[in-house]
Chain A
Amino acid sequence: MSSDTIKTYTLTRRGWLVGASSVALGLAGAFPAHAEDTIKVGILHSLSGTMAISETTLKDVMLMLIAEQNKKGGVLGKKLEPVVVDPASNWPLFAEKARELISQDKVAVVFGCWTSVSRKSVLPVFKELDSILFYPVQFEGEEGERNVFYTGAAPNQQAIPAVDYLMSADGGSVKRWVLEGTDYVYPRTTNKILEAYLKQKGVADEDIMINYTPFGFSDWQTEVSKIKAFGSAGKKTAVVSTVNGDANVPFYKELGNQGIKATDIPVVAFSVGEEELAGLDTKPLVGHLAAWNYFESIKTPANAAFIKEWHEFIKNPKRTTNDPMEAHYIGFNMWVKAVEKAKTVNADKVIAALPGIKQPNLTGGVSEMLPNHYITKPVFIGEIRADGQFDVVWKTKSLVPGQAWSPYLPGSKDLVADWVKLNCGNYNTVTKTCGGT
């Protein structure tokens, strides 16, 4: 890749089309003629299809962050220009759109993806064209790519601390576990890690029940009554839910209807945040839990300012903020700092500059980009309140560094990712070679 910081933009017909369409969409006012004076930032989030429910908000928050940075004078004396594309919840289209962003629009960095399958779909493109992706969503880990920076939580920054909390006296000294998930890669991997972890903590096989349901599952009657029956064995029981977004509303409605209260069987969820609760009457759910690295209700000056800015930007004081939005906030600011440190937007130099960059998060701590391209994050356990927000009932004492490879899985326990010293994403500490198991 050339070391030239900004690709010269040729005034092709296509360039006009891209510019015109972005103006037409009201996303950016920049004309292609001005393109040489800007640094382009790609935003790769679904604006239509099933994932639009979660990803549209992230597109909006990126536009807000970019506008804010431009008010401060941009980066390296140049304005930032957002380039928004819509991969339409279609995994192969993610790869196509990523290629378009990098090779045609010449973006310096891409912020995007939500589902793991979309991330896996764009990986080869980012490797081939050597660009940078910031991925903002909690996920199953087990990955350490040179071109990707993971600002969402790894399992050790969400799932494991949540289970630890439930095992403690405050969490109810839980002895029996239901691992309930939607049937795809994130819940399956997370549950595998949790199962290994629980067994290591001395939980017997018969005290763990693992259930999977299809995407968008809506008839939860049987599943919930199964949970109820499992919970009546005389031991304190909890549900660890990796149920995906859309299926959650009917799940919680059925829990409420069948009278399962948080004091009897608490449910701790890893994919339910403020946005998901917005479509729900939360009164029957008070006391059920969620584990995140950020909650809107956390009171810090930085968070208050962020929420205020968000409400002004989106022109709706009722819109909530959530964890992946904070991840983009951290990721974007880290990228800006890395570019300023490297004094160029050249991908190789920015990738080298990113590890070690520190950025205050919105909850009072300072997150740091680690050599494995994960970041340090605090972990909070929140209880659902009657107004759809969360009350933080527990948090980790310090920030938890993200682990690329889980030490609880046989296939990955010897692996580490380190792009600073080892220059390898899957270094095997036993065989001392780069290249996995």
Chain B
Amino acid sequence: MTHMNITEKIIARATGKESVHAGEVLFVEPDLLILYDWFGLSDWFQDMMEKDLGLKKLPHPDKILFFIDHLLPIQEESHAQLHARTRTWCEAQGIKYIEGEGIGHSLVVENGLVKPGMLVAHFDTHVSTVGAIGALGFGIMKELLMPMVTGKMWLKVPGTYKVSLTGTFQNGVMGRDLLHKLVEDLGADGCIDRVMEFSGPGAKNVSIESRMTICNLANFVGATTALFFSDETTLAYLHQNAGVDAVKIRSDPGAKFSDTRHYDLETIEPTLICPPTISNAVPLGELSGTQINVGIIGTCASGRLKDLEIAAKILKGRKIRKGFKLYVIPSSKRIFLEANKKGYINTFVEAGAFISSPTCDFCYGKATCLVPGERAISTQTLNVPGRLGSTEAEIYLASAAAVAASAVEGAIADPRQHL
């Protein structure tokens, strides 16, 4: 009998084979394909399929999900036209589209649309978020056209980098800090051609929300994608949020891993990613006091209830430093409502924050912009110069807790001192 890790198990199942091994090239049948509205991609797929390939109907519309979560609120007529085209196309194809509910990468986990053991493809790399519950998400850019048209995509079975966890995070330290620590330790290409698989007794102390952040940012260490084994935390989350009764997926005892590393969560310190690249990890303590102008809590990498909960704890009864602008964007409608019920939204508004309905647009300079010389601290997915307006502005990436603490001080601040 072959002993397989989670990635090999999922790929074997999606290929109809007994077993697969790292390095093998084969065709897999993804369980779900996800897209969102984006110029040059979502409209490109539609054009290629209809005009170049002459296909009137896609063969498996039931396996495709479309999210209208970018270009919101609409600021130009062309955005409205793109959304309108998407709606018309989805209806004609019999494809389900979801609009006004939240950010797709996050919502598919929250709503149980993706389950442990599923193989999912998107054009966007941050679909790796689905790894939080033990699914395998691949961002394959324009190649998504292949599974859309044929139902299959090719894959070279990646190796697996096992990250084993023990202990529990200090109060104020989050999954984001662990991922940034991995960047510091492994570097930009530390996980190339490999999937990061998180497991171990410490995993139970990492919330699904933190797991989503960690898996979302797998590309920071060059990983193909990332996932957590599924445990009681996974099953409880899916049951409570989505009414889904899922089955756990884990690596077999004796499964092979290309690398193994252990972290005691207790030792993880708040860690930032500094300009100008996502590989520049620095312990927060070395940058305390750096003046900051803008804070963002949201995007597909954050904006979940646990993120808003810790930010609200830090901001409760306090005011954001004069001149500092804090944007808080819950990642789904349901999270927005829940945060409102728990009083977090009240806390943010009283502290002086700007609150928005769910949208991806705070992540890429559409909904807010920096001027030369300004600095932002954000939970977003990228810090390349120009991502938030001016190429002469700086973007520091951090956990929701670190952003909230920095909003209070108007400078980079350690959240542990604010809790």
A binds B: no
